[in-house]
Amino acid sequence: MQIRRLTAEGVGVLRAWLSAAEGEQPPQILLDGDLSEPWLEEAVDLQRVFDSRFSFGMYLADVLQHHRLTDLMLPEHDEMWAWLAVAYFGQLRKRNRKTGKFQGSEHFIVERRGLKGSLAYRQAPRTAYELAVVHGDAARICLAKPMDTFGDMAEQLASRTYLARNRGFIRAAAQLYVRKGEVVRGASTYPVKPSKRKQGDRKGYGGLRRLEQRLAKLDLTYDAAALSAEQIVELLPREFEKYKPQASG
């Protein structure tokens, strides 16, 4: 189907439906002339099934390869990303067993204004596409998740633009924490604050949050944004040894 975008009325209908969460699929707005309109010449396969957000992102990157990333991130395309979320809603949805609700609207509609700032980074098709284009295979660090799962790694990294677009950092993280296409256990564990840490407690050591802290320290001596993945990994202290590629080989 040719890629379309939701109209303002279409976004309103989707938002209201998500809030009510009645039924398993949104209203038939993909081709409704009042709720959506043609947008790009490219077409997507609505029957295609993805095994992860990574494969979804790589698919969108291929379909949209003739467009510039910077252009597709502009607000004028927000309603296109919402249309794509509807197009693949059956795979992206996850209903909360207790509340009966699906994920928040920001996972389907690009929400640029919120109480805590922009939540655009949570919109599923948009972020999967962005990370796939910028980082290629290394995007697995954020996207090696089922279609219906955003994931803690994506929350930590995609929410911070300075990290989400830092190729060296993301590739270093992928080298450390991705094995056989999956994120290793413990990589996203929160380290205990020093004031509350018991002697000998090394929970979270060598994990992603400690890597973020280390990047900030590296920036005091180096131009951290210009460091390659190999340089970042080489400069890491001993606590990261267990995650380094040679340690797992």
180: left (phi over 0), alpha (psi -120 to 50) or beta: left
Domain end among 102, 134, 165 = 165
Under 8 Å between Cβ of 87 and 1? yes
CB atoms within 10 A of CB 159: 17
**Region 18-47 average pLDDT:** 91
Q: What is the pLDDT of residues 139-192, one digit of tens each?
A: 999 999 999 999 999 999 999 888 899 999 999 999 999 999 999 988 888 766
Q: What is the pLDDT of residues 81-122, one digit of tens each?
A: 999 999 999 999 998 888 888 999 999 999 998 667 799 999
Q: What is the pLDDT of residues 6-27, one digit of tens each?
A: 999 999 999 999 988 777 888 8
Domain end among 112, 142, 165 = 165
Under 8 Å between Cβ of 17 and 35? no
Number of domains in the chain: 2
pTM, two decimals, is 0.90
Rounded distance between C-alpha atoms, residue 226 and residue 132, angstroms: 20
Q: What is the pLDDT of residues 193-228, one digit of tens each?
A: 665 656 555 666 889 989 998 998 998 899 888 999
Co-location of 201 and 160 in the same domain:
no
Co-location of 158 and 132 in the same domain:
yes
Domain end among 165, 192, 226 = 165
Co-location of 12 and 94 in the same domain:
yes
**Range(s) of the domain holding residue 174:** 167-249
> Whose CA is closest to 82, among 103, 42, 109?
109
pLDDT at 249: 42
pLDDT at 248: 45
Rounded distance between C-alpha atoms, residue 194 and residue 91, angstroms: 41
